[in-house]
Amino acid sequence: SGRWAKAEAILRELEEKCGTPTAKLRQVADAMTVEMHAGLASEGGSKLKMLISYVDNLPTGDEKGLFYALDLGGTNFRVMRVQLGGKDGIMKQEFEEVSIPPHLMVGSSHELFDFIAAALAKFVDTEGEDFHLLPGRQRELGFTFSFPVRQLSLASGTLIKWTKGFLIEDAVGQDVVGELTKAMERLGLDMRVAALVNDTVGTLAGGRYNNPDVIAAVILGTGTNAAYVERAHAIPKWQGLLPKSGEMVINMEWGNFRSSHLPLTEYDQILDAESLNPGEQIFEKIISGMYLGEIVRRVLCRMAEEASFFGDTIPPKLKIPFILRTPDMSAMHHDTSPDLKVVGSKLKDILEVPNSSLKMRKIIVEICDIVATRGARLSAAGILGILKKLGRDTVKEGEKQRSVIALDGGLFEHYTKFRKCMESTLKELLGDVAEDIVVEHSNDGSGIGAALLAASHSQYL
């Protein structure tokens, strides 16, 4: 019937607009490399902020003692403590995950940091016998804060802007370590923030601790971002002394990348216009976990309106932004049952569509596939951009260099088809070099990494 023909037409148009042929991915990777150069050349020189992390030494494995870490960056935040045993490695670690009440994500700085400090204080109270703080010492913390920060030193930095659904205006421009420290003082919690790190930088540090070949880290979670080790002399905007190591970790803030080569659709444009941060984080908005399910919802909305996809009426729930979450999308996408019963039950539970035909369900799986494939292939192109910047995208005569990229984040971890597609695309793009480039899952690397950096920058060294 005409209804299916129209739905089919919308689907084919989506597929065409989301297309990421290899040649296009190479253009995206090249554009990424160009923007990396521009962002390193001067402050404000690019959409890519290429933020200096002040991390000029990565963990060596000698780190010792009890350290805490706090990871704030999405809907959950985590507190952890780790007993580092030097050459003996990690002796013990414990963590707790606390979800952030949504009203605090758009409230005041004071309230958010009070909430965080209170959760941290509660966690410190449960510290057991197998953790050892040397007598007379203050506890020290690595603070993983996954929003763009202009670092003033390793342990201080001002918030540039919020992303990923956070919007707390009075915190913008403030030193987030100062804010956290004041909240801890209000509570009487005696703890020093020894390092402030982006989650990508933490993941890089945690990855390097386990594997000396780690040169970059990528987060695919609620948002997306990357960090990598740059040669200090290749950072023209760096005014300070060159670090002894000759290296500096750069937090790219690649979520804000944009390029005329990115395949954008009308759905992306409207999603962006209606978002908390219009015009910003365009790469993030087509790749990351916060948005993929929402893009699918928007396609379904159009199908409902223009092709009566769900019948004569539009399911009211379908109109609610962000109601279709990426984990639900992923569950539908991975449905292998012959009648696609997972898709059927998601439609019923989330959109209150009680009866769905197999034909409808198949179209929905296809939408998920198109949207996830675009995101996964573009993330691979981003990684190629980094490898190109480092000259690690080609085989060097007589030289065998292995490059490991530490990957973390819920999207990478749980969305298997996304992950497989990203990995196979990277191989496709790399050709012969693919065997020297390894993608490694760095589980919870960002928290451990922050604790390790706190250890190597302890006031007691």
CB neighbourhood size of 49 (10 A): 21
Which of the choices Mg ion, ligand ADP, none does residue 225 contact, using the CB cut-off of 5 to 8 A by kind?
none
Q: Which residue, 77 or 309, is less far from ligand ADP as judged by CB? A: 77
Task: Rule CB under 5 A: say whether 410 interacts with Mg ion.
Answer: no
Annotated catalytic residue 199: yes
Q: Could you tell me which stretch among 24-32, 46-54, 69-77, 203-211 binds ligand ADP (CB under 6 A)?
A: 69-77
CA distance 52 to 227: 10
Q: Of residues 248-287, which lie at the interface with ligand ADP (CB under 6 A)?
A: none
Closest residue to ligand ADP, judged by C-beta, is 74
Q: Name the segment binding ligand ADP (CB under 6 A); options: 13-21, 73-81, 341-349, 379-387.
A: 73-81
DSSP strands (E only) in 185-244: 191-197, 214-220, 224-231
Output the smallest distance, CB 199 to Mg ion, in A.
5
Among 415, 426, 444, 457, binds ligand ADP (CB under 6 A): 415
Q: Which of the residues 47, 49, 71, 164 is marked catalytic? A: 164
What DSSP state is assigned to residue 43?
A: T
The reply to whether 445 sits near Mg ion by the rule CB under 5 A is no
Report the residue number, 45 or 327, with the smaller CB distance to ligand ADP.
327
Question: How far apart, in whole angstroms, are the C-alpha atoms of residue 288 and residue 278?
Answer: 16
Residue span binding ligand ADP (CB under 6 A) among the ranges 25-33, 201-209, 408-416, 452-460: 408-416
Write the CB contacts of 206 (distance below 8 Å, at least 6 apart in sequence).
Answer: 59, 406, 442, 444, 445, 446, 447, 448, 449, 452
CB 140 within 8 A of CB 459: yes
Least CB distance from residue 197 to ligand ADP, whole Å?
Answer: 13
How many CA within 13 A on the CB side of residue 67?
Answer: 29
How far apart are alpha carbons 322 and 349 in whole angstroms?
A: 15
* Rounded Cα gap, residues 304 and 226, in angstroms: 37
Nearer to ligand ADP, 147 or 309 (CB): 147
Q: Rule CB under 6 A: is residue 148 a binding residue for ligand ADP?
A: no
Whether the CB-CB separation of 74 and 221 falls below 8 Å is answered with yes
Q: Which does 385 bind (CB under 5 to 8 A by kind): ligand ADP, Mg ion, none?
A: none
Strand residue runs (E) in 319-418: 403-408
Distance CA 455, CA 434 (A): 35
What residues between 200 and 239 interact with ligand ADP by CB under 6 A? Answer: 221-222
Interaction between residue 410 and ligand ADP (CB under 6 A): yes
Residue 403 in the binding site for ligand ADP (CB under 6 A): no
CA–CA distance, 72 with 345 (Å, rounded to integer): 33
How many residues sit close enough to ligand ADP to count as binding (CB under 6 A)? 16
Residues in region 310-349 near ligand ADP by CB under 6 A: 326-327, 330
d(CA 412, CA 420): 9
73 binds Mg ion (CB under 5 A): yes
Q: Three-class SS of residue 211?
A: coil
∠ Cα 409 89 207 (to 5°): 30
DSSP state of 115: H
Q: Which of residues 214-233 bind Mg ion (CB under 5 A)?
A: 221
> Closest separation between CB of residue 220 and ligand ADP, Å?
8
Is 64 annotated in the active site? Answer: no
- What's the closest the beta carbon of residue 61 comes to ligand ADP, in angstroms? 25
CA atoms within 13 A on the CB side of 1: 6
- The residues, any chain, with a CB within 8 Å of residue 246's CB and separated by 6 or more, are 231, 232, 233
Residue 410 binds what, of Mg ion, ligand ADP, none (CB under 5 to 8 Å, by partner type)? ligand ADP
Contact between 73 and ligand ADP by CB under 6 A: the answer reads: yes
Catalytic (active-site) positions: 164, 199
Residues interacting with ligand ADP, by CB under 6 A?
73-75, 146, 221-222, 289-290, 326-327, 330, 409-411, 414-415
Residues interacting with Mg ion, by CB under 5 A?
73, 199, 221
